[in-house]
Amino acid sequence: YVAFSAGDLARLFHPEAYAAHAAGDAARYWIPVLGRYTGCRLNELAQACARDVRTLDRIDCLFVTSNEMDANGAVVQKAQRKKRVKTKAGRRTIPLHPEVIRLGFLEFVEERRQAKAKFLFDLAWFKKDGFGKYPSRDFRVLSRALGVWERRRKVFHSFRATISQNLEGVELDPTLIDRFLGHSIGTVRNKHYNRNREGRTLPLRQVHNALSR
């Protein structure tokens, strides 16, 4: 996969084209925006619960996890869960970029909670594709229509390459970039000591400052 260029991003998120594509559908609007600023895999975003967005150390974060919480915050039994992560390292806590907050994401999350919604998005679940089948199709339609899509090169996963290069450009430590993206780091310290009660963690303030740059 290759990163999206500045021109690609300008076309993808052109206000008129993007609004027409989203057409009031929350998943169509928020999943690419979150992909741009979190570098999450598509299904990690599509399966997010309303209670996966929480504040830690005074920073608004997205918790990427296979755990599920219902609308009341109760943990769903493992046998009944539909969420999954690609690897153990994929379980992580990501600071939300200020632009995501400016666009009203926290208000959207609160609306979902007030509506007693379990998941952030109303998406169909498939055994093979999880919740990502239709968001993947929708992004492909958008990116092809705008002349951005390239088979196996410029796809939704390219957001991960984009944010990786962005963070490298502001000189965030490469190990922190890997942890931000959910890549496995084969050290004893990372394996055993980068956790707290919330799960695998990052130096949130340091990463948040890098995102803001």
Q: What is the DSSP string of 94-155?
A: EEPPHHHHHTTHHHHHHHHHHTT-SBSS----BTTTBT-HHHHHHHHHHHHHTT--BTTTBS
**pLDDT bucket at 188, cuts 50 / 70 / 90:** very low
**pLDDT bucket at 103, cuts 50 / 70 / 90:** very high
Answer yes or no: is pLDDT of 82 > 90: no
Answer yes or no: is pLDDT of 70 > 80: no
Answer yes or no: is pLDDT of 133 > 90: yes
What's the confidence (pLDDT) of residue 68? Answer: 85
> In sequence order, what are the residues at sequence separation of 6 or more whose Cβ sits closer than 8 angstroms to the Cβ of residue 130?
43, 46, 47, 82, 83, 84
| Percentage of residues of the chain with pLDDT beyond 90 | 75
pLDDT in tens, 1-47: 999 999 999 999 999 999 999 999 999 999 999 999 999 999 999 99
- CA end-to-end distance (rounded Å), the chain: 24
Up-side HSE of residue 206: CA atoms within 13 Å toward CB?
12
By C-alpha distance, which of 13, 12, 37, 22 is closest to 212?
37
Q: Tell me how far apart the alpha carbons of residues 147 and 145 are, in angstroms, rounded to a whole number.
A: 6
Token pair, residue 125, equals 């679940």
What's the confidence (pLDDT) of residue 84? Answer: 85
Helix axes 26-38, 158-169, angle to 10 degrees: 40
| Percentage of residues of the chain with pLDDT beyond 70 | 92
Look at residue 59 and give its three-state secondary structure.
strand
What's the confidence (pLDDT) of residue 77? Answer: 83
Answer yes or no: is pLDDT of 120 > 60: yes
What integer is the mean pLDDT of 199-210?
A: 85
- Sign, CA torsion 139/145/147/151: positive
What's the confidence (pLDDT) of residue 116? Answer: 93
Q: Which of 75-89, 100-114, 186-200 has the lowest mean pLDDT?
A: 186-200
Strand (E) or helix (H) holding 195: strand 195-196
Q: Tell me how far apart the alpha carbons of residues 10 and 140 are, in angstroms, rounded to a whole number.
A: 16
Answer yes or no: is pLDDT of 178 > 90: yes
What integer is the mean pLDDT of 79-103?
A: 89
